[in-house]
Amino acid sequence: TKIFQPFSTMYEFDSGALNPQGKLISRRLSDMSSMYQDSEAVQALLNDNPLIYEVYNVEVPENEEHIQHCTTILYPGKVGSEFFMTKGHYHEIINRAEIYFCLKGKGLLIMQTKEGEFSSLEMEPGTIAYVPPYWAHRTVNTGDETFVFFAAYPGDAGHDYGLIETEGFVKAVMEQAEKYALVANPSY
Ligand code: S6P
Ligand code: ZN
């Protein structure tokens, strides 16, 4: 067996970034334009193509011995009245769980199973959310500042975006009367 060397990473409290930054994933509206409900609002924003979120991913081997860990920085904003959100996914190995720890801002963690069960949890700094095995998960920035959370999950979990890309989540998170509302997604 090859022994892996211990190491640490610094979390930058102001930005939510990691140092060293690891593998950086950036997603703009054009990377997920079909996931928002209001296609006219999408078209109107596509020229600007806003940055919606970034993931700073500590690079460890993608196998069951290891624990993947990363921060997600989800910017505030809306497409029409739908809040900025992550794409959302099932894990490729679907029975792999995950822990989210909110560090900054506020948001909503929405989850669903393939059987159509739906659940949501509010996140604020200090909230530790548990995403159990079999639940797809997406985060939504329901506030007006940057929403940041740390995530840890089994090294071999992988990401399956397919079903979410075609069907979406059971509910969309929209702004209504200066609060958020969970609204049925007609294409689910
Ligand atoms: C990974 C974990 C998060 C997300 C990240 C971006 O299992 O759930 O790190 O990857 O928040 O979301 P998404 O849906 O684009 O991967
Ligand atoms: Zn995940």
pLDDT at residue 2 in the model: 82
Ligand 1 pocket, CB under 6 A: 55, 70, 72, 86-89, 98, 137, 139, 151, 153, 159
* Tokens 């990401």 belong to residue: 159
- Give the position, in ligand 1's atom list, of the atom nearest the Cα of 72: 11
Beta-sheet strands, E only, within 147-187? 147-154, 171-176, 179-184
| Ligand 1 centre distance from Cα of residue 151 (Å) | 8
Stretches in the chain below the pLDDT threshold 70: none
> Structural domain boundaries of the chain?
10-184
DSSP letter (8 states) at residue 33: G
- ipTM for the whole complex: 0.99
Say if CB 130 and CB 164 are below 8 A apart: no
Residue count (the chain): 188
Q: Residue 63: which of 158, 152, 142, 133 has the closest Cα?
A: 158
Q: Token digits for 147?
A: 């929403």
Task: Kindly indicate whether the domain formed by 10-184 is annotated with CATH number 3.30.390.50.
Answer: no
